[in-house]
Structure 1
Amino acid sequence: MVHTRRLPANEAAARRFAEELWLPYHRDLEAAVDDHELVDDVPLEEEVEFRLDLLDSDTYRAWVAVEGDPTEEPLADLSRELVGFVTANLDSCPPVFDRPDRLKIGDFYVQESRRGDGLAGDLLDCVLEYARERGTPELSLDVDADNERALGFYEKVGFEPYRHHMTVPVEDV
C-alpha cells in the first residue's frame, strides 16, 4: 500500500525529498532524455534551500508517495520508502490575456518499480484536488519530447499539446 502526503516546509523533510526522490528523478531523466545531464557533484544543499523557498509560497505544493499506511509521523523520521512525487505551482494569467489561471505541474516522478500500478494517477489526484480548492480550471505541464512513457501517460489522462518549446545554441544561429 502507498499513501500520498504533502511535503512540509521543513529542512529535514526537504533534504530527504531531495536525496531520495528529486535526485533519483533527475538521474532517471539523465539516462532517458537527451540534454538532461547533471553535474558530477550535484549540490543538494542548494536544492534543499530552493525547495524550502518554494514550499513557503502560497501557490506551490509538493506531494510525496510513501510506502505503507498513512501515519502522522514526520516525513523526515519515517523509515518507509518514498516512491514518487509531484509538484505544482499556480500560473496566474495576466489580465490582458483571455485565458484562465493554470496549475502547472513541475516535476512528476514514480520509481520504476512502482510504475504501472496506479501511483501516477494517485499523485495526479493530489494536483487535481489542489486545483479544485483554488478554483483553477486548467492544468499544464512541460514534458521532454523523447520521454515516451510520460507522454503516453499524460495523453492517456487527457493532456493535449499546446505549444512547442524549442532551443538552439547561440553559436549555431
Structure 2
Amino acid sequence: MASEDATGDDATVRAYDPSRDWQALWERKERFERELGGGKDDATTVRYEAKLTDDYRERYRAWVENCVEREPGCVVVATDADDRVVGYAFVLPEDLSLVWDAAVLNELYLDEDWRGTGAADALMDAAVAHARDQDLPIDRMVLDVDPDNDRASGFYEKRGFEPWAEMVAYDLS
C-alpha cells in the first residue's frame, strides 16, 4: 500500500495494526461471516454460525498476523474520525497469488452504516494499490462474491471487475 493513508468521505484507510485493531477486525470478520451465511437456508446459517468458535477466532488471528508479518499492508482498515475501525480489506500475500495466478482480494467488509459513503472505494483503492506492488504471474485481482449479494456485485462491477470463472464447492462432511 502507498505510504499515505487514503480517505473515503469521513473514513481514513490505513494499514492494520494487530496490537490495536485485532478486536475490531474480529468483530467485522464475525459480521462478514454471519452476513455471508445468513439469509440463505437454515442449514447454511447454522453452518456459518457454528464455525465462529474460539478456536476458529484464534486460528484466524494467527493467520492474519502471519500474513501481515510476511507482507505488511496486506490488511487495511477503514476508520472513522475517532479512529474506530468501520471496515477492512484483506489482500492475500504475494506468495499465495499462485493459487489463482493473480492477486486475491480475500475479504472486503464495511459496517452497514458506512456502505455507500465512499469508504468502500477507499478500501478498494488501497487493496488495488497493494496488489499492484505484488509480483504477480498475471496482472489482475480476483475475488469471489456471493451471487445473491447484489450490492457487492454492483460495487465490484462499477469498479471494473468482470466475471472470470465460477467457483463451485463440494461438501466434505
- Per-residue deviation, residues 80-104 of structure 1 (Å, max 9, x unmatched): 421111100235449xxxx9x5211
Q: Select between 31-40 and 138-147 the one with higher mean Cα deviation.
A: 31-40
For 2:67 and 2:168, the matched residues in 1 are separated by 26
- Per-residue deviation, residues 50-81 of structure 1 (Å, max 9, x unmatched): 2212222238711100101xxxxxxxxxx642
Q: Percent identity?
A: 25
Query: In the alignment, is the contact (CA less than 8 A) between 1:11 and 1:52 conserved in 2?
Result: no
1:13 aligns with 2:26: no
**Structure of greater relative contact order (alpha carbons < 8 Å, 6+ residues apart):** 2
1:45 aligns with 2:58: yes
Runs (5+) with no aligned partner, structure 1: 69-78
Query: In the alignment, is the contact (CA less than 8 A) between 1:33 and 1:147 conserved in 2?
Result: no
Q: 1:139 to 1:13 in 2, by over 3 A?
A: same
Greater C-alpha radius of gyration = 1
Amino acid at match of 2:113: S
**Structure with a larger share of its residues in helix:** 2
Amino acid at match of 2:91: A
SS in 2 for 1:134: coil
SS in 2 for 1:84: strand
Query: In the alignment, is the contact (CA less than 8 A) between 2:12 and 2:78 conserved in 1?
Result: yes
SS in 1 for 2:126: helix
1:121 aligns with 2:121: yes
What is the total number of aligned residue pairs between the two structures? 154
Find 2:142's aligned residue among 131, 136, 140: 140
Q: 1:52 to 1:166 in 2, by over 3 A?
A: same
After TM superposition, give the deviation of residue 126 of structure 1 in Å. 0.2
SS in 2 for 1:142: coil
Q: Select between 146-155 and 42-51 the one with higher mean Cα deviation.
A: 42-51
**TM-score where L is the length of structure 2:** 0.75
RMSD of aligned Cα (Å): 2.7
For 2:166 and 2:72, the matched residues in 1 are separated by 25
**TM-score where L is the length of structure 1:** 0.75
Query: In the alignment, is the contact (CA less than 8 A) between 1:14 and 1:51 conserved in 2?
Result: no
